[in-house]
Every structure is written in structure tokens, then in C-alpha cells.
Structure 1
């Protein structure tokens, strides 16, 4: 009888652990599916200040082939003020795009940041 009770207890613990692991796996898969389905994602690889009024950036954009992506970059002055902004459209039918972009500024920029990327909603 004691052996049966021990086996029952072991089975209950094993079942609870397996159930918890299955629940965690389903939750992880669902979360990854929902959050991983961004229409466009970009990365700022590098930037260079070319002059007092111009900055060049290298962007890497990942999107589906049929998606038209729009990425926004902004340039910053030494005080942190925004001195330039540009929206760039990626219409290429590729899922991975590497490109150089030039941004005009109102004064010398010392920084550039990728604000974000999204799918285009219009033409």
C-alpha cells in the first residue's frame, strides 16, 4: 500500500511538471508568434557626419518581400536637439535590404538614431 501511494504521488508530481512545461511552451510559442510578426524591422549599422548640414547612415531593414517598409531616422545636435529627420521608403521586393541614406540637417549633427520601422499604409 505504501508503495502504491508513493507511485501515485510520483505520477502526480510528474504529471504536474509535464503539464507546467507544456503550458510554458505553448505560452512561449504564442508570444513569439504574436510579437515576432512585425511587418518591418530595422537596424542602424553606422553613421557618419559628412558636413555641417549632411549625415549619412547605413541601415539594414528586414521585411517580407511584398511589404513596403518606411523607416524614420533623426539626427541630433551636441545638445541633444533634433536637427534633422527623414522617412525612407523601402519598396524593393526583397526580405533583407542594406542601404546608405543621406539626411540633411539644420545644423551640425553629432548623432543619428533610427526611430523605427513600420509597414507603409499608403502608396
Structure 2
């Protein structure tokens, strides 16, 4: 199994949605080189500014094998956040996904810009 840092369980994401939470959830797949190579090398450019501002950041592993979700909940969350396309970075604001079209953003500069845009939406 591919190891991703900052993992969150699908149940915890569901709880964030149900309890009007705010977080940035990054949907990743173990088979996706953009997830475990390109973005993983630069993930702190996204995570650090968010965490410094008190925003929860976590990776949600949704697939080990292409087209095979880990559970029906993983599939429902993925579809609710816009469907396939990994990595997909989603801002959940007060329990609602407000920015979920952030797919395949992997380089350091773009990830840092994404963090800045999320922080502006939160404030």
C-alpha cells in the first residue's frame, strides 16, 4: 500500500460535512503517480500555510486500484466532491464543499497559490 502523510478516515470527512466543519481534503489514489510522486513531493507548500492559519488539512485515500473505491463511502465522497480526477483538492467550508475543481495541482507554486486562495475564501 502506498503511504501518504496526513491521512484522514472517510468517516471523519463525513463528520466534518455533517458538523459544519472547515477543512481542506486532498483526495488521492494509490495508483496515481501525480498523487504519490509529483504532488507528494510538494504537499507542504499547500499544507503549511493552511495549518499555520488553523485550517485542518488531510489526505483521503480513496482508491488502492484504479476504478476500485475502498468503500461505498469513499465513492460517495469522491462523487460528492466532483468525481474522479486525482489528486483532487477540496475546500470544505462550514460543512459544504465550496471549491472542488482543483484537480492535478502538483507543483509547489501552484499548491501555494491554492492555499492562499482557500485562506481568502475562509476569511
Q: Could you say which TM-score interval applies, normalised by the shorter chain? A: under 0.3
Relative CO higher for 1 or 2, CA cutoff 8 Å, sep ≥ 6? 2
Normalised by the length of structure 1, the TM-score is 0.25
Structure with greater proportional helix content: 2
Larger radius of gyration: 1
The TM-score normalised by the length of structure 2 is 0.25
